[in-house]
Protein backbone atom coordinates (compact mmCIF):
# COMPACT_ATOMS: atom_id res chain seq x y z
CA UNK A 1 0.00 0.00 0.00
CA UNK A 2 1.29 3.44 -0.97
CA UNK A 3 -0.05 6.52 0.82
CA UNK A 4 0.24 10.17 -0.18
CA UNK A 5 0.44 12.41 2.88
CA UNK A 6 -0.18 16.16 2.77
CA UNK A 7 -1.47 18.96 5.01
CA UNK A 8 -2.06 22.71 5.20
CA UNK A 9 0.07 23.56 8.24
CA UNK A 10 3.23 22.99 6.20
CA UNK A 11 5.70 20.16 5.75
CA UNK A 12 7.44 20.91 9.04
CA UNK A 13 4.30 20.89 11.20
CA UNK A 14 4.13 18.23 13.94
CA UNK A 15 0.70 16.98 12.79
CA UNK A 16 1.96 15.65 9.46
CA UNK A 17 4.51 13.45 11.23
CA UNK A 18 1.63 11.86 13.14
CA UNK A 19 -0.06 10.93 9.84
CA UNK A 20 3.19 9.57 8.45
CA UNK A 21 3.52 7.37 11.52
CA UNK A 22 -0.11 6.27 11.27
CA UNK A 23 0.47 5.24 7.64
CA UNK A 24 3.61 3.36 8.60
CA UNK A 25 1.73 1.50 11.34
CA UNK A 26 -0.43 0.13 8.51
CA UNK A 27 2.70 -1.09 6.75
CA UNK A 28 2.38 1.47 3.98
CA UNK A 29 5.02 3.20 1.89
CA UNK A 30 4.74 6.92 2.60
CA UNK A 31 5.25 9.79 0.13
CA UNK A 32 4.95 13.27 1.60
CA UNK A 33 4.09 16.18 -0.71
CA UNK A 34 3.17 19.22 1.36
CA UNK A 35 3.41 23.03 1.34
CA UNK A 36 6.72 24.64 2.30
CA UNK A 37 4.80 27.04 4.50
CA UNK A 38 1.67 27.37 6.61
CA UNK A 39 -1.46 27.60 4.40
CA UNK A 40 -4.35 27.51 6.85
CA UNK A 41 -7.72 28.84 5.62
CA UNK A 42 -6.52 28.68 2.03
CA UNK A 43 -9.39 26.36 1.14
CA UNK A 44 -9.34 25.01 -2.40
CA UNK A 45 -7.05 27.79 -3.64
CA UNK A 46 -4.62 26.88 -6.41
CA UNK A 47 -1.71 28.66 -8.03
CA UNK A 48 -2.38 29.92 -11.55
CA UNK A 49 -0.42 32.18 -13.85
CA UNK A 50 2.90 31.63 -12.08
CA UNK A 51 5.18 28.64 -11.49
CA UNK A 52 5.88 26.68 -8.31
CA UNK A 53 9.14 25.27 -7.07
CA UNK A 54 9.23 21.65 -5.85
CA UNK A 55 12.09 20.65 -3.54
CA UNK A 56 13.06 17.09 -2.60
CA UNK A 57 13.85 17.20 1.13
CA UNK A 58 15.96 14.83 3.25
CA UNK A 59 13.93 11.89 4.59
CA UNK A 60 13.20 12.22 8.31
CA UNK A 61 10.73 9.51 9.34
CA UNK A 62 11.24 6.62 6.95
CA UNK A 63 9.34 8.22 4.03
CA UNK A 64 10.20 7.07 0.51
CA UNK A 65 10.00 10.68 -0.73
CA UNK A 66 9.48 14.02 0.94
CA UNK A 67 8.73 16.96 -1.36
CA UNK A 68 8.05 20.57 -0.34
CA UNK A 69 5.93 22.68 -2.72
CA UNK A 70 5.88 26.43 -2.90
CA UNK A 71 2.10 26.42 -3.13
CA UNK A 72 -1.22 25.59 -1.52
CA UNK A 73 -2.45 22.22 -0.19
CA UNK A 74 -4.43 21.64 -3.42
CA UNK A 75 -1.37 22.53 -5.49
CA UNK A 76 0.52 19.77 -3.63
CA UNK A 77 -2.12 17.14 -4.34
CA UNK A 78 -2.49 18.14 -7.98
CA UNK A 79 1.23 18.34 -8.65
CA UNK A 80 1.78 15.00 -6.90
CA UNK A 81 -0.98 13.13 -8.73
CA UNK A 82 -0.51 14.74 -12.15
CA UNK A 83 3.24 15.06 -12.32
CA UNK A 84 5.47 14.03 -9.42
CA UNK A 85 4.38 10.47 -8.66
CA UNK A 86 4.70 7.65 -11.16
CA UNK A 87 1.91 5.68 -9.45
CA UNK A 88 -1.62 6.32 -8.21
CA UNK A 89 -1.64 6.17 -4.40
CA UNK A 90 -3.98 3.75 -2.65
CA UNK A 91 -4.91 6.43 -0.15
CA UNK A 92 -4.39 10.13 0.55
CA UNK A 93 -4.17 11.40 4.13
CA UNK A 94 -4.33 15.14 4.86
CA UNK A 95 -3.43 16.66 8.23
CA UNK A 96 -3.37 16.25 11.12
CA UNK A 97 -4.54 19.84 11.28
CA UNK A 98 -3.90 21.86 14.41
CA UNK A 99 -7.52 22.97 15.00
CA UNK A 100 -10.86 21.38 14.19
CA UNK A 101 -12.47 21.57 10.76
CA UNK A 102 -16.15 21.42 11.57
CA UNK A 103 -19.42 22.81 10.23
CA UNK A 104 -19.27 25.56 7.63
CA UNK A 105 -15.58 26.06 8.41
CA UNK A 106 -14.62 22.98 6.41
CA UNK A 107 -14.99 25.15 3.29
CA UNK A 108 -12.14 27.38 4.49
CA UNK A 109 -9.95 24.41 5.33
CA UNK A 110 -6.92 23.59 3.23
CA UNK A 111 -6.73 20.22 5.01
CA UNK A 112 -10.21 19.14 3.92
CA UNK A 113 -9.84 20.67 0.44
CA UNK A 114 -6.63 18.73 -0.20
CA UNK A 115 -8.42 15.47 0.63
CA UNK A 116 -11.37 16.45 -1.59
CA UNK A 117 -8.99 17.27 -4.42
CA UNK A 118 -7.28 13.87 -4.16
CA UNK A 119 -10.72 12.24 -4.13
CA UNK A 120 -11.57 14.05 -7.37
CA UNK A 121 -8.71 12.06 -8.96
CA UNK A 122 -10.24 8.80 -7.73
CA UNK A 123 -7.98 8.40 -4.68
CA UNK A 124 -9.75 7.42 -1.42
CA UNK A 125 -8.96 10.23 1.01
CA UNK A 126 -9.25 11.22 4.64
CA UNK A 127 -8.78 14.65 6.20
CA UNK A 128 -7.68 14.59 9.85
CA UNK A 129 -7.97 17.49 12.28
CA UNK A 130 -7.47 17.77 16.01
CA UNK A 131 -10.16 19.98 17.52
CA UNK A 132 -7.92 22.06 19.72
CA UNK A 133 -7.40 25.69 18.73
CA UNK A 134 -5.08 26.84 21.51
CA UNK A 135 -1.33 26.20 21.29
CA UNK A 136 0.41 23.28 22.92
CA UNK A 137 -1.14 20.13 21.47
CA UNK A 138 -0.12 16.87 23.11
CA UNK A 139 0.46 14.75 19.99
CA UNK A 140 1.54 11.64 21.89
CA UNK A 141 -0.48 8.62 20.79
CA UNK A 142 -2.49 10.45 18.11
CA UNK A 143 -0.77 8.38 15.42
CA UNK A 144 -2.16 5.23 17.03
CA UNK A 145 -5.68 6.67 17.09
CA UNK A 146 -5.42 7.66 13.42
CA UNK A 147 -4.00 4.25 12.42
CA UNK A 148 -6.79 2.41 14.25
CA UNK A 149 -9.42 4.52 12.51
CA UNK A 150 -7.88 4.14 9.05
CA UNK A 151 -7.60 0.37 9.54
CA UNK A 152 -11.33 0.11 10.29
CA UNK A 153 -12.23 2.31 7.34
CA UNK A 154 -10.08 0.28 4.98
CA UNK A 155 -11.76 -2.92 6.18
CA UNK A 156 -15.27 -1.47 5.86
CA UNK A 157 -14.73 0.17 2.47
CA UNK A 158 -12.72 -2.52 0.80
CA UNK A 159 -15.43 -3.27 -1.76
CA UNK A 160 -16.13 0.40 -2.57
CA UNK A 161 -12.81 2.12 -3.16
CA UNK A 162 -14.16 5.61 -3.86
CA UNK A 163 -14.56 7.45 -0.56
CA UNK A 164 -13.80 10.70 1.23
CA UNK A 165 -13.99 11.36 4.95
CA UNK A 166 -13.56 14.33 7.22
CA UNK A 167 -12.26 13.16 10.59
CA UNK A 168 -12.05 15.39 13.64
CA UNK A 169 -10.45 14.14 16.83
CA UNK A 170 -11.60 15.54 20.18
CA UNK A 171 -9.14 17.42 22.36
CA UNK A 172 -8.66 14.49 24.74
CA UNK A 173 -5.94 12.04 25.63
CA UNK A 174 -6.48 8.92 23.45
CA UNK A 175 -7.68 6.80 26.37
CA UNK A 176 -10.42 9.35 27.14
CA UNK A 177 -11.96 9.27 23.63
CA UNK A 178 -15.55 8.00 23.83
CA UNK A 179 -15.68 6.29 20.43
CA UNK A 180 -16.55 7.20 16.83
CA UNK A 181 -19.72 8.91 15.62
CA UNK A 182 -20.87 8.96 12.00
CA UNK A 183 -21.80 12.64 11.64
CA UNK A 184 -22.96 15.31 9.24
CA UNK A 185 -21.66 18.79 8.76
CA UNK A 186 -23.28 21.32 11.10
CA UNK A 187 -24.73 23.81 8.60
CA UNK A 188 -24.55 26.75 11.00
CA UNK A 189 -21.28 27.56 12.72
CA UNK A 190 -21.05 31.34 12.73
CA UNK A 191 -18.88 33.07 15.26
CA UNK A 192 -16.79 35.16 12.92
CA UNK A 193 -16.35 38.83 13.62
CA UNK A 194 -13.90 41.63 12.90
CA UNK A 195 -12.31 44.09 15.29
CA UNK A 196 -12.07 47.54 13.77
CA UNK A 197 -8.93 49.62 14.35
CA UNK A 198 -7.24 52.70 12.94
CA UNK A 199 -3.69 52.90 11.65
CA UNK A 200 -1.52 55.77 12.94
CA UNK A 201 -2.42 57.70 9.75
CA UNK A 202 -6.14 57.15 10.23
CA UNK A 203 -6.91 54.28 7.83
CA UNK A 204 -9.49 51.67 8.81
CA UNK A 205 -8.43 48.09 9.20
CA UNK A 206 -10.10 44.94 10.50
CA UNK A 207 -8.73 42.01 12.48
CA UNK A 208 -10.62 38.73 12.01
CA UNK A 209 -11.67 37.39 15.43
CA UNK A 210 -13.85 34.60 16.76
CA UNK A 211 -16.77 35.98 18.74
CA UNK A 212 -18.36 33.62 21.27
CA UNK A 213 -21.44 35.86 21.67
CA UNK A 214 -22.24 35.66 17.95
CA UNK A 215 -21.44 31.96 17.94
CA UNK A 216 -23.83 31.31 20.83
CA UNK A 217 -26.62 33.27 19.11
CA UNK A 218 -26.37 31.24 15.90
CA UNK A 219 -25.69 27.99 17.61
CA UNK A 220 -27.69 24.91 16.68
CA UNK A 221 -27.01 21.49 18.10
CA UNK A 222 -28.17 18.15 16.84
CA UNK A 223 -26.95 14.78 18.00
CA UNK A 224 -25.56 13.82 14.58
CA UNK A 225 -23.66 17.09 13.94
CA UNK A 226 -19.88 16.99 13.69
CA UNK A 227 -19.64 19.76 16.30
CA UNK A 228 -21.77 17.82 18.79
CA UNK A 229 -19.64 14.68 18.50
CA UNK A 230 -16.51 16.67 19.33
CA UNK A 231 -18.16 18.43 22.27
CA UNK A 232 -19.20 15.07 23.70
CA UNK A 233 -15.72 13.55 23.40
CA UNK A 234 -16.24 11.42 20.28
CA UNK A 235 -14.28 11.21 17.06
CA UNK A 236 -16.41 12.82 14.33
CA UNK A 237 -16.42 10.87 11.07
CA UNK A 238 -18.22 12.69 8.23
CA UNK A 239 -18.56 10.95 4.86
CA UNK A 240 -18.34 13.56 2.12
CA UNK A 241 -19.07 14.11 -1.57
CA UNK A 242 -18.16 17.39 -3.22
CA UNK A 243 -21.28 17.59 -5.33
CA UNK A 244 -23.07 20.85 -4.66
CA UNK A 245 -25.83 20.74 -7.25
CA UNK A 246 -29.19 21.18 -5.57
CA UNK A 247 -31.94 19.31 -7.34
CA UNK A 248 -34.98 20.45 -5.42
CA UNK A 249 -35.84 23.57 -7.39
CA UNK A 250 -39.52 23.47 -8.34
CA UNK A 251 -40.74 26.24 -10.57
CA UNK A 252 -37.37 27.38 -11.83
CA UNK A 253 -37.42 25.49 -15.09
CA UNK A 254 -40.83 26.81 -16.07
CA UNK A 255 -39.77 30.32 -15.09
CA UNK A 256 -37.05 30.14 -17.74
CA UNK A 257 -39.35 29.19 -20.64
CA UNK A 258 -39.16 31.65 -23.48
CA UNK A 259 -36.24 33.50 -21.93
CA UNK A 260 -35.03 36.44 -23.98
CA UNK A 261 -31.41 37.39 -23.41
CA UNK A 262 -31.64 40.80 -25.07
Task: Scan residues 16-35 and list those touching its own copies (CB under 8 A).
Answer: none
86 vs 175, which CB is nearer to its own copies? Answer: 175
Q: Which of residues 168-187 bind its own copies (CB under 8 A)?
A: 174-175, 177, 179-180, 182-185, 187
Instruction: Provide the angle, in degrees to the nearest 10, between the axes of the packed helices 14-25 and 142-156.
Output: 50
Instruction: Please count the other Cβ atoms lying within 10 Å of the Cβ belonging to residue 136.
Output: 6
Query: With binding defined as CB under 8 A, does residue 161 bind its own copies?
Result: no
Pick from 47, 90, 171, 231 the residue near its own copies by CB under 8 A: 47
Is residue 143 within 8 Å of residue 21, measured between CB atoms? yes
Q: Total residues contacting its own copies (rule CB under 8 A)?
A: 87
Residues in the chain: 262
27 vs 244, which CB is nearer to its own copies? Answer: 244
Pick from 153, 167, 229, 230 the residue near its own copies by CB under 8 A: 153
Is residue 166 within 8 Å of residue 225, measured between CB atoms? no
Pick from 58, 86, 196, 200 the residue near its own copies by CB under 8 A: 196
Cis preceding linkage at 96, omega within 30: yes
Query: With binding defined as CB under 8 A, does residue 157 bind its own copies?
Result: yes
Q: Which residues pair with 3 in a beta bridge?
A: 30, 91
Is residue 66 within 8 Å of residue 57, measured between CB atoms? yes
User: What is d(CA 6, CA 16) in angstroms, rounded to the nearest whole number?
Assistant: 7
Q: Which of residues 85-104 bind its own copies (CB under 8 A)?
A: 104
Pick from 26, 52, 57, 85 the residue near its own copies by CB under 8 A: 52
Query: With binding defined as CB under 8 A, does residue 213 bind its own copies?
Result: no
139 vs 163, which CB is nearer to its own copies? Answer: 163
Amino acid sequence: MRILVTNDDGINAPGIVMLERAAQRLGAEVVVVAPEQQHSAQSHAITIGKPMFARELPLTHGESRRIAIEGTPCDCVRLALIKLLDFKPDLCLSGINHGGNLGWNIFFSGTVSAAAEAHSFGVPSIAFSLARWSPGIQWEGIDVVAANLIRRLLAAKHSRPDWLYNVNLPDLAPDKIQGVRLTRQNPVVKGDNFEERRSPDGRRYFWPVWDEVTAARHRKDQADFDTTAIEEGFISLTPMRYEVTHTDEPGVLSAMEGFHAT
